[in-house]
Each structure stands twice: as C-alpha cells, then as structure tokens.
Structure 1
Amino acid sequence: MSRRVIILILDSLGAGYMEDAKDYHPQDIGANTFRHIIDTVPSLHIPTLEKLGINKVIHHATLQTCETPLASYGCLNLMHHGADSFEGHNEIMGNKPKKTYLAPFIDNMEEVKAALEEAGYKVKVPDENLPYLLVNDLVIVADNIETDYGQIYNVSAPLDYIPFEEVLKIGQVVRGHVKVNRVIALGGENVTPTHLQASVERREDGLVGVNSPKSNVYKQGYQVRHLGFGITPDYQLPTIAKKAGLEVSLVGKMQDVIFCEEARKFPGVDTEKVMKDIISEMDHVQHGVIAATVQETDLAGHAQDAKRYANRIELVDYYLPSILEKMTDEDLLIMSADHGNDPTIGHNQHTREKTYLLAYQKNVTSVNLGVRETLSDIAATGADFLGLNKTENGTSFLPLIQRK
C-alpha cells in the first residue's frame, strides 16, 4: 500500500503569542501574526483554508467558520527557545531542541580566526572599527544582521570567485568552534568581492555583518546550507523515511534547513514555484514524504508588510485545491508554521508564537487536536502514518483521528 505525508509550512504564520513570552520575550506580548494580517487586510480571500477549518484556530470575525471542517485542527507550541526558522523546522521534523547560547560574533572572532588559520586559510580583519573576518580575500565571516541578536553567524561568498563546496568547508570550521544556534554558509553569483565587503554594516544593536539583500547574493545563483547546533538528522522524519526505502522530496526553504542525504531537492523562494513543485512531486512520489516551506510569508513579515503577507497566503490558498484533488485516501496533508513574524507588532524580527495546525485526510472526521507541546508532533504523526520508527521528539496525534 502506497502512502504519502505532505507537510506544508507557511514560514512565520503564527497564531498567537506563547505564555512564556511575558518572561523571555516581552516585546512579543500581543503578537498574533495571522489575526493581525487579517485585521490589516480584512478582504483576505482564503476559501480553501476556511473549508479546512482555519477559523477554528484563528477565530476571526471576517473569516467563515466551517462547523464541520475538512481537516482536524489545533495549535502547536514551540519547544525551542526564541523563534527561529532553522530550529523551528528541525523541531518540526522531529529534532529535540538543544540549548544554545547567544553571543555576537566579536565574542568568538579570535577563536574562529585561529581555527581557520590552523586549517590553512588566510584570515584578516580588514577594519578594526567594523570587525569581521575576511577569508582568502573573498569570504566574509560575521554576524547575521537579519535575525535576532547573537543567534546566527553568516559565511558569505561571491560564488564566481570560489566554489560553494569551499565556502561550506569554511562554514564547517566555524561551526566546529561556536555554540550559537546556527552558522549559515551562503553565496551568490554576479557578486564581486569588493561589493560584498562594501555591504558590511553595523546594526543599531552593535552586530556587524553583510547586508545580504544589499550584497545581491540572493539575485543569481544563490546557494545556502544551514549548519545547526546539536541537530541529529538520523532521528528526523525525512532521514528515517529515506533509510526505510521511501521517497523524500524537500521543496523551497525546507531543503535549505533540513538535511537528508539523497532526498530530491527543489530550491525556491517564489511562492508560486514552491506550490507548483509540490503539485508536480505528487505525480512522482508514490510512497513517502513531500515537505515544503513557503518562505515569502516570512520575508513579508520582516519587511513589516502585511499586505504582501496577505497576498502570499492567498496565493497558497489558490493552489491548495490542486493538492487536495491529487490526494488519495492514503495521503495525509499537515499544514502549520515554525513561529510568528507579526508585521504589526512594532519590530521586524520573529515573534514567539504558537502555530496553527491543520491535518487533512479524505473521508476522515475532523477533530479538535488541542494545543500541543511541540512542533515535533508533526513528524511524529508522519512517521506513525507511514509505519516508520519514531522520531527523536514528538507525540503522534494520529490516534485521535478516525475514519468516517
């Protein structure tokens, strides 16, 4: 019997701030990404999400509430600290979050410099007043200035001058000598070393790093690999499925942040491309996992652009009927998010929010799945549905769902 689990993550589409925000993230109190987008754009048109039962979670007056929705519904709390896409996605796939620490790159710069030099690289600090590492006169190691303070270091490169495999090796040396949440190795084509260095900025809070959009690394030939702290792919749904002989496809940002050897990978930021790639893979994957992330919602949140955010949600909704039509009775669709990014909250960083949960199977009665402890319940349920070994973290909600 062929079975498929389709996981669709709308990056940062949170459903209300978590209770612990008052203790650790007071700036996020009051955040509710989904509701506040609808408040700003009350004309939001998402008829398929309404039929699936999204308003059983959001409870917004302008949305239609289906009393007998197609999908089971609920919310998921974040188990990882803060609100991070990489940790969120790895938690979604069954990883138990590990405790990292926060530190600006300057706190680790000398140790990283020494490690890179020991590995044979030429390393210098071009400007003591704007401290970052320049490796082999090409690659910049510095803070990620597009996310929360002290969580991520970037290894940025002009890929016309150095192959990405070498950039990744540099990133792995950095990863081996720091305990922050993430090291990101990234680069783009048609970017000169001079322009890349000219794109280094100091943020208001003191972080120093490449302004990635300004550097143009995203525009052509973009490549990226996220190197996490304490991540164990062997106990995550994609790798468990692959080792069991099942097919695995990772689409959009999902393939950036989840490591699964030999998975089919479909990079892409454009929402329409991501949705079309999911639909296309449903014609190829007979038994296994299709996992995808729509990233443009998160980018709109960072830009504090609620209208753009609403437009991306509508585009996802436009393609959902095609996914539902292609599903068989032996398929399971799970939709959720990885954290929040409320464009109306007053800052442009991720917000610590629980996420909505929709789980759809044909001919299955909708049930209230409640508020669950971790995003990992998604992977635990997927593994249960496919008859696989358990993931490292999470509890399956499959026993709550029964066929009509």
Structure 2
Amino acid sequence: MKAKISGNIVCRRVSAAKGQWKEVMIMKKAYRRIFTIVLDSFGVGAMEDSPQFGDVGVDTLGHISESVEEFKIPNLQKLGLANLHPIRQVKSVEKPLGYYGKLREASRGKDTMTGHWEMMGLWTKKAFRTFTEHGFPPELIQELSRRTGRVIIGNKSASGTQIIEELGEEEIATGHLIVYTSADSVMQICGNEETMGLENLYRYCEIARELTMKDEWKVGRVIARPYVGKKKGEFRRTANRHDYALKPFGKTVLDTLKEAGYDVISVGKIYDIFSGEGITEFQKSQSSVQGMDQTIELAGRDFHGLCFVNLVDFDVLWGHRRDPVGYARELERFDVKLGELMQVLREDDLLILTADHGNDPTYSGTDHTREKVPFLAWSPSMRGGEKLAESENFAVIGATIAENFQVEMPEGTIGTSILNKLK
C-alpha cells in the first residue's frame, strides 16, 4: 500500500477486486482555527551559540523556577512543559495532553522582530543594528533635532521608567525631547501626554522612522513612549505606546493566508511587529491578561484562519527589569487564563504556545538572552501527546499553519511543517 501527499489530501492506493488497484483520496486532519500565542521572552535554555551573543548559562524558565518557592502552572504542566524542561516545583506528567518540543533560532539575533518574522518563514541573516554602547551618532541626533525643532536629551541605553524619572521634569519644563535606546535595535522617544501631546509625539516618531531608514542608522523599531505625571515619583507610562517597525523584508505566511481569503487576527503588538502586513483584523492590548481575555473572546467567534497573539508583559515588566518573582507570578496569571481558553476551544481548533527569544530575569544587564523556545501544541480533538524532535528554526510554526490551510510558503522562506505529527 503506497501513499502520496499533496496539501491536506492523501492519495492512497488500496487493493480492489481481481487483483486491481484503485486510488482513493482521504482528507488529512485540518484545523479550522489556529491560535498561536507568543509568551514574549519565555526562553527554555541557552542556544549552542549563545556565548557569541554574550549569553552564558542563560535559562529563563529554569532560573525563574529556582527563584521562587511556589510555582503553580497546572495547565502548562498538563500540556507537557515540565516534560520539556525540568521545573523544581512542577512534576512532569505521564501522559501530556499536548505535543511538546524545543525550537532553535536560525536567524542572527535575539530580538522581537527577528523571532516573530522567523516564525512566519523569514530567515534574518544579518542582525539589526544596535546603539547600546554609545547612543545614536551625533549626525542623527542633530538631524532629528533640526526636523523636530526640539533639543534632544538622553541619547543613551536606559530603562524607560528610569529615564523618565531622570529627565521627565526637564522635558516638561524646557520642551526638550527624551530619546533613548536599549539592547534591542530600537529608538525610543518619550513624551508627556499632557504637555507635549500624543499627536506631536507620534509626529516626531514618524520623522525618526524616516531618518532611521538609512543603512548606517537603521533600527528595527522606533517606539513612541508616552507618559503622564508632573514630577518625579508620579510619572507613569500609558498604554498609548505606538511602534513604527520596519516592514518585513519579504512575504510571510501571514500574507499568503490573507491573500487566500483566511482571517488573520492579531492581538497585542503583532500588528506593529509586522507593520500590518498580512493582518485582516487587529486588537491592541494594555496587558497580557487583557490579551488573553481578548483571545478567549475571539475563541467564541466564528472565524476561519489564524489568531496570532503576543503577550508582552513577561518581557517588558519582568524580564528587562530582572524580576524573576514577578515573571513567575505573571506565568501563574497566564496559566489561569490558559485554562479558561482551553475550556472554550473547539474540536477543530489548534492551540500553539511558543516564544520569540529569552530574557533571563536573573542574568546580568537588561538585554534579551539567546535561548531556545518552547513549542506546545494541543487540540481538544487530540487523545494525548508526545515529545517532538528539536526543530532547527522557529519557522516550523508558519510552515505547519500554511500546510493546514493549504497555502504555499512564500518564495524564499524557510520552515518544514509538522502537521502530520500533531494527530
């Protein structure tokens, strides 16, 4: 008996009467909806090349576990997370509900855009530029000052909350413009909503995005960072952040899904990461808990296609701020919402949980960490899972989604589907 596969159709030769053979077509299992949730920065151990990125012995999940006494994540446990990676407080389970494995990153980087773009098939061979050590070049700062009409202050690598505490009063009093960077390929611009105004802040960021398209100044994202308050101790960043990201350098699986007429719904900062390319509907989130609530609400709707979610609080609130206890508590809050989502998913839904990089909250500095990421897959129609072989790239996710919906991987992309393994 022989079989050949094309898309979701299996053509199988079976015996017929009088020694004859006939070919019958059997539909492989296809999911009507796929929910892909990215736990931003949730790494599960160092990549083999992590020392090249300045990361030695990093392990986001492992070190979070070592930093807390209690760690209650029963739904992640059921899906096989503790089978995938040892967790001091959480036992592995004999029969995980889902399929579990680790993904290595092929691209040269450890940032948000590189990780998400690779999930959808793009292999970034050259890392985005960073300006962590010395700030942005004087020529760029001078041109930004000339175009905005404001004196630039800051221009260094800093925590967003700390630099507002340091320079917020000066910005309010003088009208100067706070510009800073981080370990990522990013230019961030702060503005007080009450004195500068959101529209002005956004306009300055648009100018900065135009300037940083030059090769020697090119950054992955320009981010508007609005805040409110009048003096130190009262400053608070608001939810009106806006990212001005580079467009993906090629077509992704999101584009082919949209072109084929499928729904591609994004939650959180997915829309910004892909500059809206390939998205049919988007919802911004003010927190990871809200992002999960939005996802649960979307699960109650009838759509056909992909729901792509980013939960950023793990990274922004706890990873960069080097707070392993806060990270653990955020994971516990997520686990509760995960249980609620699992209750409302349908038999023909597929849930994929993953991450875009690591951010070990016990490591030195405030940068992302070069790590492998988890891959957990579950559907209510599954009757148990098993361990998957470690993948050489994140693009296994996009390739699996593409095969499920019978769309072609765009030209020049990477990734091999494992849809046939998710039984």
How does the TM-score come out when normalised to structure 1?
0.80
Q: Given the alignment of the two structures, is residue 257 of structure 1 paired with residue 284 of structure 2, yes or no?
A: no
1:4-403 residue pairs with structure 2 within 5 A?
Answer: 4-22=33-51, 24-26=52-54, 28-99=55-126, 100-103=128-131, 108-111=137-140, 113-114=142-143, 121-123=147-149, 125=151, 140=177, 142-144=179-181, 147-148=182-183, 151-159=185-193, 161=197, 163=199, 166-177=203-214, 178-188=216-226, 190=228, 216=236, 218-219=237-238, 222-228=240-246, 231-232=248-249, 235-261=251-277, 263-298=280-315, 299-364=317-382, 365-391=384-410, 392-403=412-423
Unaligned runs of 5+ in 2: 1-29, 158-166
Q: Which amino acid aligns with 1:284?
A: R
Post-superposition Cα deviations, 1:229-273, rounded to whole Å, max 9, x if no partner, equal x723x6223332222221122112333323225532222242221
CA contact (8 A) 1:238 1:260 kept: no
Q: Which amino acid aligns with 1:370?
A: A
How does the TM-score come out when normalised to structure 2?
0.77
Q: 1:128 to 1:250 in 2, by over 3 A?
A: closer
For the residues of structure 2 that align with 1:314 and 1:397, how far apart are their CA atoms? 31
Q: Which amino acid aligns with 2:413?
A: N
Post-superposition Cα deviations, 1:294-319, rounded to whole Å, max 9, x if no partner, equal 21111212222111111111111111
Larger Rg belongs to = 2
* Worse overlay, 275-284 or 364-373: 364-373
> Deviation of residue 180 (structure 1)?
3.9
Q: 1:127 to 1:395 in 2, by over 3 A?
A: closer
> Deviation of residue 39 (structure 1)?
1.5
How many pairs were matched up? 370
For the residues of structure 1 that align with 2:283 and 2:252, how far apart are their CA atoms? 19
Aligned-residue Cα RMSD (Å) equals: 3.2
What's the secondary structure of 1:35's corresponding residue?
helix
> Deviation of residue 38 (structure 1)?
1.2
> Deviation of residue 49 (structure 1)?
0.7
For the residues of structure 1 that align with 2:417 and 2:328, how far apart are their CA atoms? 29
What's the secondary structure of 1:14's corresponding residue?
coil
For the residues of structure 2 that align with 1:59 and 1:130, how far apart are their CA atoms? 38
* Worse overlay, 83-92 or 273-282: 83-92
Sequence identity percentage: 24
> Deviation of residue 354 (structure 1)?
0.6
> Deviation of residue 32 (structure 1)?
0.9
What's the secondary structure of 2:276's corresponding residue?
coil
For the residues of structure 1 that align with 2:275 and 2:344, how far apart are their CA atoms? 27
Q: Which amino acid aligns with 1:366?
A: G
What's the secondary structure of 2:100's corresponding residue?
strand
What's the secondary structure of 1:259's corresponding residue?
coil
For the residues of structure 1 that align with 2:413 and 2:341, how far apart are their CA atoms? 28
Q: Which amino acid aligns with 1:248?
A: V
For the residues of structure 2 that align with 1:139 and 1:371, how far apart are their CA atoms? 50
